[in-house]
Amino acid sequence: MDFSYSESELLFQTELRTWLEENLPEGWLDGNRNIPADNKGKGEFLRDWQRKLSEGGWAGISWPVEYGGRGATLIEEVIYEQEMARVKAPPVLNIIGTAMVGPTLLDIGTEEQKEKYVRKILNGEEIWCQGYSEPNAGSDLASLQTKAVKQGDKWIINGQKIWTSYAHLSDRCFLLARTENTGKKHEGITAFLVKMDQPGVETRGIRSINDQYDFNEVYLNDAVADDADIVGEVNNGWKVSLTLLSHERVGVARQTFRLQKQFDELVELAETLEKNGRPLILDPIVQQNLAIFRAKTKALLFSYYRHLTNSIRTGKPGPEGSMDKLASSELGQEMLAYAMSLQGAENTLWKEDALVDASWQRDYLRSFGYTIEGGTSEIQKNIVAERILGLPKDIKK
């Protein structure tokens, strides 16, 4: 396996590093990574960052040049995620738009949809959310109950979505609704592009365990969409949804590289904390546990590189991505739990009372979502078992 970059890839990396040094929020590289806690302030901060990324040509880098992207190769995408993880760059507010909705429209959207939405997605003028999960249709997405009924050239949508990230800040939603009941749950589903700022859409924030409001419930009461807002064909939304989900592969790379950074910070934490006047890093048990985490994070990284190499050879991502997602989400949660144990009883302290940077507490609480979002660990295990190991399919009732 060759880990070296080509000359052009090294130039790409240098250009990105230089841009980040010049454009990250003031004090960011010195550790002052303060994002406003209130919804309005956080939204404005992240919109500004999205706009800056777009102006610099660093939003949607894999998109075609004619739509504002760089036409980046898969390796360049990996370099991008690696560098963003290295500096712990602010999150991309329009990640649903740039990573999934935009690429899907570029793949199968109409020319009118591309013209109307794509550039606004890239520059953050319009923020997008994803209307997939429902109270009784999360991992089993095909069981969704939200319905859309045709009335003239309009579609009237009624139902409920849940765990909708950034819906409270979003202008539009890529939404799945049932448009026909054929008796087969994967049929009769249609993908719509729904305007959030309309009387028929109500968003209610969900306070997460880490005191954040990134998730939402979305209620649709006679919400309206036009024929022109349908992606793909009527009743063929399941195929459209698979197209959108296929673009999530870069998210796996993002988490894999963040874990490399997180391990380094875990070592720094062990060097900072003391027991009986001695740094915890000198404790042989702590050293042993850190060595195990070092081995696990490197194994995850090399496994990802192996799967990436296969994707480059075949031209498409394979089911191995489920292995990477499963391993990275489980390992991330495990490492954060260990960071809590290193702090002892002080791990219950919060915010300004915390013994160390309270982001450890916040990230630990957030980590319980790692094994749920993007397909639960149970779903990923089924995919690995069936599509990689060749085991019999799970019995579905």
Distance CA 233, CA 111 (A): 15
Angle at 211 between CA 210 and CA 212, to 5 degrees: 95
Give Cα separations from 46 to 25, 169, 182, 206, 342 (angstroms): 11, 10, 43, 19, 32
- Contacts of 356-362 with CB under 8 Å at 24 or more apart are 356/269, 356/272, 356/273, 360/269, 360/336, 361/210, 362/210, 362/211, 362/212
Within a 10 A sphere around the Cβ of 9, how many other Cβ atoms? Answer: 15
Distance CA 258, CA 335 (A): 12
Give me the sign of the Cα torsion angle 113, 119, 125, 128: positive
Per DSSP, the residues of 224-267 read EEEGGGEESSTTBHHHHHHHHHGGGHHHHHHHHHHHHHHHHHHH
Of these residues, 9, 44, 217, 248, which one is catalytic?
Answer: 248
Tokens matching residue 130:
């994803």
To the nearest 10°, report the CA torsion of 48, 50, 262, 302. -170
Distance CA 367, CA 208 (A): 11
Q: CB of 281 within 8 A of CB of 287? A: yes
Q: CB of 165 within 8 A of CB of 182? A: no
The number of helices, as runs of H, and strands, as runs of E, in the chain is 13, 10
Alpha helices per DSSP H over the chain: 7-23, 39-55, 74-86, 95-96, 102-108, 111-113, 119-122, 237-245, 249-272, 284-314, 320-342, 359-366, 377-383
265 is catalytic: no
Distance CA 142, CA 182 (A): 13
DSSP letter at 4 equals: P
DSSP letter at 118 equals: I
Catalytic positions are 248
